[in-house]
Amino acid sequence: MSNIKNAFAGGKAFIPFITCGDPDIDTTYKVVIEAVNNGADLIELGIPFSDPTAEGPVIQEANIRALSGGITTDKVFDLVRKLRETVTIPLVFMTYANVVFSYGADRFIRTCSEVGIDGLIIPDIPYEEKEEFTPYCDKYDVDLISMIAPTSEDRIAKIAKEAKGFIYVVSSMGVTGTRSSFSNDLSHITEKIREVTDVPCAIGFGISNPEQAEKMASISDGAIVGSAIIKILAQYGKDAPSKVGEFVKSMKDAVRKA
Partner 1 sequence: MNKVKKEGRFGIHGGQYIPETLMNAVNELTAAYEHYKNDPEFNRELQELFNEYANRPSRLYFAKKMTEDLGGAKIYLKREDLNHTGAHKVNNVLGQALLAKKMGKTRLIAETGAGQHGVATATAAALMGMECVVFMGEEDTKRQALNVYRMRLLGAEVIPVKTGTATLKDAVSEAMREWTNRVSDTHYCLGSVMGPHPFPTIVRDFQAVISKEIKQQILEKEGRLPDVVMACVGGGSNAIGTFYHFIEDKDVQLIGCEAAGRGVDTFETAATIATGKLGIFHGMKSYFCQDEYGQIAPVYSISAGLDYPGIGPEHAHLHDIGRASYVSVTDDEAVNAFEYLSRTEGIIPAIESSHAVAHALKIAPTMDKDKIIVITISGRGDKDCAAIARYRGENIYE
Q: What is the contact surface with partner 1 in residues (CB under 8 A)? A: 49-51, 53-54, 56-57, 60, 67, 72-74, 96-103, 123-129, 132, 147-153, 155, 159, 170, 173-175
Decide if 18 contacts 43 (C-beta within 8 A): yes
What are the start-end ranges of the H helices in 38-141? Answer: 57-68, 73-83, 97-103, 105-115, 134-140
Residue 139 CB, nearest approach to partner 1 (Å): 20
Q: Which is nearer to partner 1, 33 or 105 (CB)?
A: 105
Residue 153 CB, nearest approach to partner 1 (Å): 6
Q: Which is nearer to partner 1, 8 or 103 (CB)?
A: 103
Q: Strands across the sheet with 146-148, in order?
A: 143-144, 119-121, 91-94, 43-46, 13-19, 222-225, 201-204, 167-170, 146-148
Q: Which is nearer to partner 1, 185 or 246 (CB)?
A: 185
Residue 133: closest CA among 174, 95, 167, 81: 95
Residue 251 CB, nearest approach to partner 1 (Å): 24
What span, in angstroms and rounded, lies between the C-alpha atoms of 40 and 57? 24
User: Residues near 88 by Cβ (< 8 Å), separated by ≥ 6?
Assistant: none
Residue 173 CB, nearest approach to partner 1 (Å): 5
Q: Which is nearer to partner 1, 71 or 142 (CB)?
A: 71
> To the nearest 10°, the Cα dihedral for 221, 240, 100, 177?
60
What span, in angstroms and rounded, lies between the C-alpha atoms of 41 and 14? 6
Q: What beta strand segments (E) does the chain contain?
A: 13-19, 43-46, 91-94, 119-121, 143-144, 146-148, 167-170, 201-204, 222-225
Q: Which is nearer to partner 1, 85 or 154 (CB)?
A: 154
Q: Which is nearer to partner 1, 47 or 255 (CB)?
A: 47
Q: Which is nearer to partner 1, 25 or 248 (CB)?
A: 25
